[in-house]
């Protein structure tokens, strides 16, 4: 997949041509080590490397004028935002006691020395603290976002510049992310994060994933290299999959064993989300999983905190920033009552909305009813509700035919993972419909009869597209889980043959402990006779793996 065309303009590279029709242009891109120009390899926290690296260019780019830097390869929106980003990172560090405690605990032992970690996870301020924690523990890191709208450009700039660099002399981590990527740009960024020019295999030995896109690209690459051909992108069932096939057709022609070689040294992946974990279990059951995986999502300190409390905070933040509509008094429909849906429903009710839940699972439906929510089908309420939120991790939850029945100015948003929870492709195909951008990531869709609905973040994650995602303290839990999972897989490969695992219970409890002091929590200590009576160690773990919190 070619890198998007840019041309230099007064020290900033400005996008001159868009590769994907219908996708929003990402104007004002600042290119680090631009393609076609030879520069030193990434310094990774000031550690220089020996060989030069050139990011691959399409033929159309080779005659372009470039903005260049040396000592780093990256692509972010604007390096001048790094100072602002660094200030926010400093604030976030105070609110992320788990990660900061892990830095202190493992600073001397450097358990990730030798690790080459490719990250595919929302490039936010909180993620910047995670990245710099991994580096502090000895890892080298390359990063891309896992969503075209979720990058905070000042955070990406700060990571690329690094704590010891400047915009004119960046010394940080290679980052390939900016807010408003096209799908072609998104998959190009993912490929760059997976490309390690000085590595024996050309790739990472660890992956830190959110949604499973980096893992998917490696697995599909290996699959099609084994087959000797890549399916025609025209046969893809979505525009996104067509972009993946286009990329893999190019790499198969350029380097027929690229992904097979790259995968051979990967020790494992740690996966952040329900969606990505679902993909991992599917590959495990099909016998196609190439390396071990730790399911971080189902750690208690992730799913019961990030998924519930994080969404409770960030859902209404996104709706408010996007629409400025009073939530109190409105009827809001939450599709799905898992941990994410529970947090969403609670936040909407807290704002005074009348909340209705839709569910397929009788247990979750009963929970919602016992929590005081009306539980019914979307069909029953689609014509009367004001706000619709999908939180299922499944596809085709709100279809174009549903949106056609909604009331004027109904708000539609997704806080699951992918944009296929809402039928955006079907909506665009309705005869006579008109899409209009109110502001970035807020669009009205007007039907032929004059009725309009408001769709947030084009059906992608509204809490990251329209707001800044989960707060730092919640993400400290999730990212502490990720860091410990990376250490576990990297340092104990013999303990993890290829399979999907959950984070060990003692590490889950450790993450919780790391966050108690900052909240003023004091734990009661078991006496030995009490511990013996219930059959647990005095220091824990206190619950069996099957315990449901």
Please check if 432 is assigned to a binding site: no
Report DSSP letters for 49-65, one per residue.
-SSEE-----GGGTTS-
SS3 assignment, position 101: helix
Cβ within 8 Å of residue 21, ≥6 positions away: none
Catalytic residue among 297, 367, 420, 457: 297
* 274 marked among binding-site residues: yes
C-alpha–C-alpha distance, residues 8 and 257, integer Å:
35
Tell me whether residue 416 is annotated as binding.
yes
58 noted as active-site residue: no
466 is catalytic: no
Q: Which of 301, 300, 293 is nearest to 277 (CA)?
A: 293
Q: Which of 219, 278, 304, 417 is catalytic?
A: 417
Q: Is 307 a catalytic residue?
A: yes
Residue 443 appears among annotated catalytic residues:
no
Find the helix or strand (DSSP H, E) in which 179 lies.
none
Q: Is 54 annotated as a binding residue?
A: no
| Residue 390 assigned ligand-binding role | no
Residue 44 in marked binding region: no
* Rounded Cα–Cα distance for residues 527 and 172 (Å): 48
339 is in an annotated binding site: yes
Active-site choice (470, 488, 510, 515): 470
Paired strand residues for 502: 295
341 in a known ligand binding site: yes
| Residue tagged active-site, from 150, 351, 457, 486 | 150
525 is in an annotated binding site: no
470 is in an annotated binding site: yes
Catalytic residue among 34, 120, 122, 154: 122
The answer to whether 417 is annotated as binding is: yes
Q: How many whole angstroms separate alpha carbon 357 and alpha carbon 15?
A: 43
Residue 417 annotated to the active site: yes
Q: Which one is catalytic: 26, 243, 414, 482?
A: 482
**343 annotated as ligand-binding:** yes
Q: What gap in Å lies between CA 142 and CA 75, rounded to an integer?
A: 11
Q: Of residues 184, 191, 306, 423, which has the active-site annotation? A: 306
150 is catalytic: yes
Has 478 been annotated as catalytic? yes
273 marked as part of a ligand binding site: yes
CB-CB contact of 466 with 291 (8 Å): no
If you write DSSP's letter for every residue of 446-464 in order, what string do you get?
E-TTS-EEEEEGGGSBHHH
Closest CA to 117 of 53, 208, 212, 195: 208
Catalytic member of 72, 307, 351, 441: 307
**DSSP E strands, 83-133:** 116-120
302 labeled binding residue: yes
Active site residue 154: no
Q: Which of 88, 153, 181, 272 is catalytic?
A: 272
Residue among 3, 132, 210, 213 flagged as catalytic:
210
Catalytic member of 33, 64, 72, 145: 145
Q: Is 415 labeled as ligand-binding?
A: yes
The response to whether 184 counts as a known ligand-binding position is no
CB-based contact 487:133 (threshold 8 Å): no
189 is catalytic: no
Is 359 annotated to bind a ligand? Reply is yes
* H or E segment and range at residue 443: strand 442-446
Catalytic residue among 146, 311, 344, 364: 311
- Residues written for the chain: 549
Annotated binding site for NAD(+): 273-275, 307, 336-343, 359, 394, 415-417, 463, 470
Catalytic residues: 122, 145, 150, 210, 272, 297, 302, 306-307, 311, 417, 470, 478, 482
Binding site residue list for substrate: 124, 210, 272, 302, 306
> Residues marked as binding?
124, 210, 272-275, 302, 306-307, 336-343, 359, 394, 415-417, 463, 470
């Amino acid at each position: 997949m070619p890198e998007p065309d840019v041309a230099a303009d007064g020290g900033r590279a400005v996008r001159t041509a868009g590769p994907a029709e219908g996708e929003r242009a990402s104007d004002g891109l600042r290119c680090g080590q631009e393609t076609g120009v030879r520069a030193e390899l990434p310094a990774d926290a000031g550690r220089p490397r020996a060989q030069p690296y050139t990011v691959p260019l399409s033929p159309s780019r080779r005659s372009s004028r470039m903005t260049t830097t040396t000592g780093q390869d990256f692509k972010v929106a604007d390096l001048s935002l790094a100072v602002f980003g660094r200030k926010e990172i400093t604030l976030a560090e105070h609110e992320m006691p788990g990660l900061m405690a892990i830095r202190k605990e493992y600073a001397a032992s450097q358990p990730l020395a030798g690790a080459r970690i490719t990250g595919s996870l929302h490039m936010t301020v909180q993620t910047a603290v995670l990245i710099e924690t991994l580096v502090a523990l000895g890892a080298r890191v390359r990063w891309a976002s896992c969503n075209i709208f979720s990058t905070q450009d000042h955070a990406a700039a700060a990571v690329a510049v690094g704590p010891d660099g400047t915009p004119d002399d960046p010394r940080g981590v290679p980052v390939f992310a900016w807010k408003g990527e096209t799908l072609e740009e998104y998959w190009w960024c993912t490929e760059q994060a997976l490309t390690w020019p000085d590595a024996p295999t050309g790739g990472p030995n660890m992956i830190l994933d959110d949604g499973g896109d980096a893992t998917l690209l490696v697995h599909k690459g290996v699959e099609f290299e084994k087959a000797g051909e890549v399916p025609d992108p025209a046969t893809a069932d979505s525009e996104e999959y067509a972009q993946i096939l286009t990329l893999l057709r190019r790499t198969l022609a350029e380097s027929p064993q690229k992904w097979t070689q790259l995968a051979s040294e990967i020790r494992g992946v740690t996966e952040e989300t329900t969606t990505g974990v679902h993909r991992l279990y599917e590959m495990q059951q099909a016998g196609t999983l190439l390396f071990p995986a730790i399911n971080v999502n189902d750690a208690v300190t992730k799913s019961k905190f990030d998924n519930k409390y994080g969404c409770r905070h960030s859902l209404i933040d996104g709706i408010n920033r996007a629409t400025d509509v009073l939530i109190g008094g409105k009827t809001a429909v939450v599709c799905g009552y898992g941990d994410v849906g529970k947090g969403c429903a609670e936040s909407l009710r807290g704002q005074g909305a009348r909340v209705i839940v839709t569910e397929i699972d009788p247990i979750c439906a009963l929970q919602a009813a016992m929590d005081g929510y009306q539980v019914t089908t979307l069909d029953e309420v689609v014509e009367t509700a004001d706000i619709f939120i999908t939180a299922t991790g499944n596809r085709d939850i709100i279809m174009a035919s549903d949106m056609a029945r909604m009331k004027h100015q109904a708000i539609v948003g997704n806080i699951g993972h992918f944009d296929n929870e809402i039928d955006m492709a079907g909506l665009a195909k309705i005869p006579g419909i008109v899409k209009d951008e109110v502001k970035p990531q807020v669009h009205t869709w007007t039907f032929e009869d004059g009725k309009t609905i408001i769709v947030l973040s084009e059906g992608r994650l509204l809490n990251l597209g329209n707001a800044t995602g989960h707060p730092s303290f919640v993400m400290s839990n999730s990212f502490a889980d990720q860091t410990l999972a990376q250490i576990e897989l990297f340092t104990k490969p013999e303990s993890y043959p290829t399979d999907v695992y959950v984070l060990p219970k003692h590490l889950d409890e450790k993450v919780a402990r790391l966050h108690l002091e900052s909240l003023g929590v004091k734990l009661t200590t078991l006496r030995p006779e009490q511990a013996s009576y219930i059959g647990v160690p005095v220091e824990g773990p206190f619950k069996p793996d099957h315990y449901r919190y």
